Each structure stands twice: as C-alpha cells, then as structure tokens.
Amino acid sequence: MSEQKKLRPASAVVAAGRPPITADGELNPSISLNSTFHAPNEVGYGRYGNPTWSALEDAISALEGGRTLVFGSGMAAISAVFNILPRGAVVTASKHGYSGTMSLLKKLVEAERIEVRYVDVSNTDEVLAALPGTVMLWLESPTNPAMEVADLPAIIGAAKMMNIGVGVDNTFATALNQQPLAMGADISMNSVTKFLSGHSDVLMGSLSTNDSALFTRLEEQRKLGGAIPGPFESWLALRGIRTLAIRMKQSQESALELADRLSKHPKVAKVRYPGLPSDPHHETAKKFMKGFGAVISFEIHGTPADADKVCGASTLISLATSLGGVESLWERRHRWSAESPSIPENLIRLSVGIEDVEDLWADIDSALGYY
C-alpha cells in the first residue's frame, strides 16, 4: 500500500498486508503455493518464508507492534520461545494457563531443560518475589480457564528493570485490548487459531517482538524446527483478522451481558469474567485493558456430571473445545485430563461468539434446566 498515516487498530488490521497498488493489481494477496523461489533471492525456500505468511505477519504486526513470525500452531510458537532458553534457565510462569503450555513446561522440567517457578499472576507481590534469578517471565493474562488477570504494566516494568525476558500469551485479550510490547514485553504471542483468525477453521500461532536479535533467533527456530503454517491457512487467517475488531466488539459486549445474567442465575455458583465489576480482577483489568475479551468461566451448584449435562443440552452453543470463533462453544474443562487440578471439576468455559445475545441466553438458561 502507499504510505499511510498511523491508523487505529481496527483500520490498521484491514489495511495491512495488501499488495502494492498497481493498475489492475490484486487487492488481496494471493495464496502463494510455492516450496521454492527463483534465485537470486532473500527468502529462497518455502520453509524460510512465504509471501502469504508475510501478508498475515504484517497484519498481526499492525495490531501488536514490532515484527511478527507466524507458526503452524500456537504451541509451535510457544515451543520456539522455550527452545531458545539455555539449559537450566529459571522461568517464572503462571500457575494456571492453557493446559498445553502447562504440559509443555512440565515436560521441560522433567527433562531438566529448565526450572519453573509457578506463580499466581494476579498476585503482583508473589510474581515480583519470584523474579530474582529468573531468565524469562512467561505470562498468560487473562489465564485460561481461571480468568485471572496480571497487572501487566507493573509486572512487565519490574521484570524489565531486572533485565528479565518477558513473554505474554495475548490469546485471550488480543492486542485490541492490551498491548504487551508497548508495555515493554519482549514477546507477544497469539494462538492465531482463536480470535485472530476467528472462524474455527485454522490452526496457527504468532510471535511479535521489537527486538531484532530476538526476532532472528526465533526465526531460526521456525526454520530449523520447521513448524511452519500452510499458505492457504495463512490466507484464511488473514481474511479472518480483517474482521477482528467488529467480531471482538460484538462478542465481548455479549460476554459482559451473559456474565451478568449468569451471575444472577440460581444454579450458578461463581462467574469468572474480568469485565464484571464484582470480579476480583476487574479493578486491575480496568487499569490497562480496553475490553475484557469474550471468554467466561463459571461454576454451577452441581456435580461435574451435572456440568456435563448442561454442556450437552445446548442447541445453539456447541459442546467443543477451543475459543475465539464466531460460533459460541462451551465445555467442562476437566473433561481433559491435562487440566490443572486446581481448576474446579465443575467449571464450564464458555467462548462467546457473534450470535444474537438473546438466543445465546435462551440456550444457556434452558441448558441449565437440564439438571
């Protein structure tokens, strides 16, 4: 595109990653199905780069700041980060987080690759106390599925004063709601699978950074690890990210409404959503988050079997894992054995899509009547 003024995020994500304007030129990037490129070249080979990845990377960079690398999944992106740590590195990490990340950390500890100090990220004093001697702080906020919120500006600021590397899994909030790089983090990571691509049809991950030396090391991990995305998936994700702002607006507006109604429902024991003024993390979140995302966790007055009945009784909301798509999904998280024992057995995680909020509520209310 021609030189543009600094755009607001909702516009930047629409404008970025487009081919240069030429007579009859393409408006959208093509899907580049090439494993190799003519010499002389900068990219050369399809495991090193691809024009369709680059277009998506530009769009993610327009949101996150910095420069972006896309990977074949969110886990591939997270693995690339942990792979560059020296043997024996001490990592401070969220004690609750995506179960795949938690399992990866456990495996790395068992293999004596790294040491991990697990902290409650919503307890800033606890995080700061763990930092001396830490090589990298890995934060997830809000955490999946506990929905705890870390005071990101305070914690990132303190870690950077101590020269500690900071990575933030930004999947739940997205860069529309919080910008870890602008707060000083070294890496902002996304499971692009979720809100960024937004249609539950793609698996992909991303790492964004302002540090060019770190970028080069992570790019080398992608080249050598080979966990690259496909060009078609990259194109789908790029198409999805164009509508991120409008999807997020609708989903989080509905999430707030549903969280409020759930909190007043006689069968619901506890709702976890940082957008609710009564939520213990609301005050922290309000300080720096522009919106509170579209994932709600809640516990029912009932057994895990009752929670399974509820999730199985919906007709609009699908009983399925994952989140961040246009379609609402829910599940009892402990149907997965990898879920943390400190997450309640009857906790249901609901990812709110873009359906009409009244239809969603009617579905939830009726499903709660099934036990």
Ligand X SMILES: Cc1ncc(COP(=O)(O)O)c(C=O)c1O
Q: Which residues are catalytic?
A: 47, 98, 169, 194
User: Which of 100/153 has CB closer to ligand X?
Assistant: 100
Give the total of residues touching ligand X (CB under 6 A): 15
Residue 310: both structure tokens together: 């509820």
User: Which of 70/114 has CB closer to ligand X?
Assistant: 70
- Chain positions 66 to 85 lying near ligand X, rule: CB under 6 A, are 73-75
Among 93, 114, 146, 203, binds ligand X (CB under 6 A): 203
Among 141, 177, 191, 297, binds ligand X (CB under 6 A): 191
Order of strands across the sheet that contains 136-140? 67-71, 205-209, 187-191, 165-169, 136-140, 89-94, 114-119
Distance set, CA 91 to CA 68, 130, 141, 164, 298 (Å): 23, 9, 17, 10, 30
Q: Look up tokens 């990866």; give the residue.
A: 104
Are 349 and 322 spatial neighbours (Cβ–Cβ below 8 Å)? no
Residues 6+ positions from 213 with CB-CB distance below 8 Å: none
Among 144, 206, 208, 250, binds ligand X (CB under 6 A): 144
> Which residue's Cβ has the minimum distance to ligand X?
74
Q: Which of 192, 92, 87 is nearest to 140 (CA)?
A: 92
With CB under 6 A as the contact rule, which of the stretches 93-101, 225-233, 338-346, 353-361 interacts with ligand X?
93-101
With CB under 6 A as the contact rule, which of the stretches 81-89, 167-175, 215-223, 309-317 interacts with ligand X?
167-175
Beta strand pairing call for 205-209 and 187-191: antiparallel
Among 79, 94, 171, 197, binds ligand X (CB under 6 A): 171
Residue 133: both structure tokens together: 């001697």
User: Which of 101/174 has CB closer to ligand X?
Assistant: 101
Q: Which residues bind to ligand X, rule: CB under 6 A?
A: 73-75, 98, 100-101, 140, 144, 169, 171-172, 191, 193, 203, 205
